[in-house]
Amino acid sequence: MKIEPFLTEQFFTQYEFSAPHLLASSDCETMAIGELLQMAGSTLDEFAKVTLGYTESQGDPQLRSQVAGMYTDIGKEDVVILTSPVEGIYLAMQTLLEPDDEVIALRPAYDALNNVARHLCREVIPWNLVARADQWELDFDQLESMIGPQTRMIVVNFPHNPTGFVPSAAEFERLITLARANDVWLFCDEIYRGLEFDTPIPSAADRYEKSVVLGGLSKTYGLPGLRAGWLVIRNATLRDELINWKHYTTICPAAPTEFLASQALLVKEQLASRSKSIIQRNLELCEQFFSRFPDHFTWRRPRAGSVAFVELNLLNFGFASATAYCHHLAQNDGIVLLPGKCLGFDDSFVRFGLGRASFQSALEAFATVVSEKHSVVN
Ligand SMILES: Cc1ncc(COP(=O)(O)O)c(C=O)c1O
């Protein structure tokens, strides 16, 4: 049975490993295995002792305890270790959704958060983030009007890819209250958690008994090649049903990944602050860049996370869509920006990724292109 194209991954597949300037990556700067082990006080010898047998389906108990420690009210029995973060989206949707269900999902969104549900159930109704002059906003009237008897699940992602939106504490509580009052599941993708620039947001796992929370080491901790992720599911029946689905996908986590994930969690604060300091520096570069080109871009500064969603004034670029421009830019100038259409939004937006050390040189290359090819006056 066919599923919609995974536009983000398809776009990256074309350019990610060939274009010299990546300006759209959502993960933060990574490191070598040796560097991680050294930071965590471990050694390659210890890593070499990891045996390559099957592991526990739910995940190594010690690793699950470490993950549980990242929440306030969660035990290791609530945690399921995955073979990649994205696997968690697939498993949760497969486990929870029936053909007659409706899902309400924040938009724009990482493709999997919409497409797997759309493949499985009657309808995925978009809950659109609203672009105000200089920031993104949630519209609760919109959400309330969409919840109905068929609503099985609300899907959100905070900090949000691609806008960098995070709800206020009051907005977060309002969302939980609405979900509880309507007895719907809340799938909360928290893979960018820990990248808040000021007040950390609570986890839905600690606030709502019918939440399914996704976490992982790919973004905040800069370790996407580890493929380390987890779900927090407090409902034991759902957890067992999900683990049954997992037997059909990956059975159990990879042993080397579990070892390295455990090491990474020993130094999680260090890893996150390393990412945050790169993002802060890149945000300052963004401020300078966007104030230099006010006729070309509308910049809404992200409140958290490693990405920003930027509107192009397409007339000044001479292109009909952001998608056409992004392909042109990658093919002719070797600069990769992700079209917002891949994330289900208007084709005049692009995603910037702020977590890489090479951001400055990529942005400088882009500034040259904008000023030389798109006739800016500065
Ligand atoms: C919001 C969100 N959820 C999940 C994922 C999946 O993470 P991974 O690629 O590490 O499986 C991504 C990756 O970009 C993402 O942005």
Residue after which a domain boundary falls, among 267, 284, 299: 267
Q: Cα 326 to the chain's mean position, in Å? A: 21
Q: Ligand 1: which residue has its CA nearest to atom 4?
A: 86
Please say if the pLDDT value at position 235 is more than 80. Answer: yes
Q: How confident is the model at residue 378 (pLDDT cuts 50, 70, 90)?
A: very low
Question: Is 355 a pocket residue for ligand 1 (Cβ < 6 Å)?
Answer: no
Q: Which atom of ligand 1 is nearest to the CA of 219?
A: 10
Q: How confident is the model at residue 375 (pLDDT cuts 50, 70, 90)?
A: low
Mutational pocket test of ligand 1: of 219, 343, 352, the residue with most ligand atoms within 8 Å of the beta carbon: 219
Query: For residue 105, what are its two tokens?
Result: 């999902």
pLDDT of residue 321: 98
Distance 263 CA to ligand 1 centre (A): 21
Count of alpha carbons within 13 angstroms of residue 67, beta-carbon side: 31
Mutational pocket test of ligand 1: of 9, 11, 110, the residue with most ligand atoms within 8 Å of the beta carbon: 110
Q: Which atom of ligand 1 is nearest to the CA of 192?
A: 1
- Return d(Cα 376, Cα 378) in angstroms, integer: 6
Span 238-267, average pLDDT: 98
Give the whole-number percent of the chain exceeding pLDDT 90.
97
pLDDT of residue 214: 99
pLDDT digits (tens, 9 = 90+) for 139-178: 999 999 999 999 999 999 999 999 999 999 999 999 999 9
- Could you tell me the end-to-end alpha-carbon distance of the chain, in angstroms, rounded to an integer? 52
Asked whether residue 165 falls in the same domain as residue 116, the answer is yes
Q: How confident is the model at residue 302 (pLDDT cuts 50, 70, 90)?
A: very high
Does residue 1 lie in a domain region?
no
- Return d(Cα 54, Cα 328) in angstroms, integer: 46
Contacting residues for 365 by C-beta, under 8 A, at least 6 apart:
20, 21, 333, 334, 335
Mutational pocket test of ligand 1: of 16, 191, 223, 230, the residue with most ligand atoms within 8 Å of the beta carbon: 191
- CB-CB contact of 179 with 208 (8 Å): yes
- CB-CB contact of 231 with 310 (8 Å): no
Q: Which atom of ligand 1 is nearest to the CA of 86?
A: 11
Distance 318 CA to ligand 1 centre (A): 32
- The CATH number of whichever domain residue 240 belongs to comes to 3.40.640.10
Q: Which of 119, 85, 281, 59 minimizes the C-alpha distance to 189? A: 85
Question: Beta strand 136-137 with 130-131: parallel, antiparallel or unpaired?
Answer: antiparallel
Count of domains for the chain: 2
Three-state secondary structure readout of 75-112:
CHHHEEEECCHHHHHHHHHHHHCCCCCEEEEEECCCHH
Does residue 274 lie in a domain region?
yes
- CB-CB contact of 89 with 112 (8 Å): yes
Q: Which atom of ligand 1 is nearest to the CA of 157?
A: 1
Distance 170 CA to ligand 1 centre (A): 26
Asked whether residue 144 falls in the same domain as residue 190, the answer is yes
- Return d(Cα 26, Cα 35) in angstroms, integer: 21
Question: Is 218 a pocket residue for ligand 1 (Cβ < 6 Å)?
Answer: yes
pLDDT digits (tens, 9 = 90+) for 67-88: 999 999 999 999 999 999 999 9
Element (H, E) at 128: strand 123-128
Does residue 378 lie in a domain region?
no
Question: Is 84 a pocket residue for ligand 1 (Cβ < 6 Å)?
Answer: yes
Contacting residues for 336 by C-beta, under 8 A, at least 6 apart:
12, 15, 16, 19, 21, 22, 23, 24, 25, 326, 329, 330
Asked whether residue 65 falls in the same domain as residue 198, the answer is yes
Most distant CA atoms of the chain, gap in Å:
62
Question: Is 26 a pocket residue for ligand 1 (Cβ < 6 Å)?
Answer: yes
| Residue 292 identity (one-letter amino acid) | R
Asked whether residue 247 falls in the same domain as residue 367, the answer is no
Mutational pocket test of ligand 1: of 83, 214, 218, 227, the residue with most ligand atoms within 8 Å of the beta carbon: 218
Distance 343 CA to ligand 1 centre (A): 12
C-alpha to C-alpha distances, 15 to 10, 332, 336, nearest whole angstrom: 9, 12, 7
Residue after which a domain boundary falls, among 220, 252, 267: 267
Please say if the pLDDT value at position 221 is more than 60. Answer: yes
Mutational pocket test of ligand 1: of 113, 161, 187, 217, the residue with most ligand atoms within 8 Å of the beta carbon: 161
pLDDT digits (tens, 9 = 90+) for 105-123: 999 999 999 999 999 999 9
Question: Is 191 a pocket residue for ligand 1 (Cβ < 6 Å)?
Answer: yes
Question: Is 157 a pocket residue for ligand 1 (Cβ < 6 Å)?
Answer: yes
Question: Is 189 a pocket residue for ligand 1 (Cβ < 6 Å)?
Answer: yes
Please say if the pLDDT value at position 305 is more than 60. Answer: yes
Query: For residue 61, what are its two tokens?
Result: 């108990």
- The CATH number of whichever domain residue 331 belongs to comes to 3.90.1150.10
pLDDT digits (tens, 9 = 90+) for 8-65: 999 999 999 999 999 999 999 999 999 999 999 999 999 999 999 999 999 999 999 9
Asked whether residue 99 falls in the same domain as residue 70, the answer is yes
Q: Which of 187, 175, 182, 160 minimizes the C-alpha distance to 242? A: 187
Q: Ligand 1: which residue has its CA nearest to atom 15?
A: 110
Question: Is 302 a pocket residue for ligand 1 (Cβ < 6 Å)?
Answer: no
Compute the C-alpha angle 30/309/118, nearest 5°.
90
Q: Cα 328 to the chain's mean position, in Å? A: 26
Does residue 2 lie in a domain region?
no
C-alpha to C-alpha distances, 268 to 189, 195, 215, 236, nearest whole angstrom: 19, 12, 13, 28
- CB-CB contact of 161 with 26 (8 Å): yes
Residue after which a domain boundary falls, among 248, 267, 286: 267
Domain that holds residue 160: 35-267
Asked whether residue 83 falls in the same domain as residue 136, the answer is yes
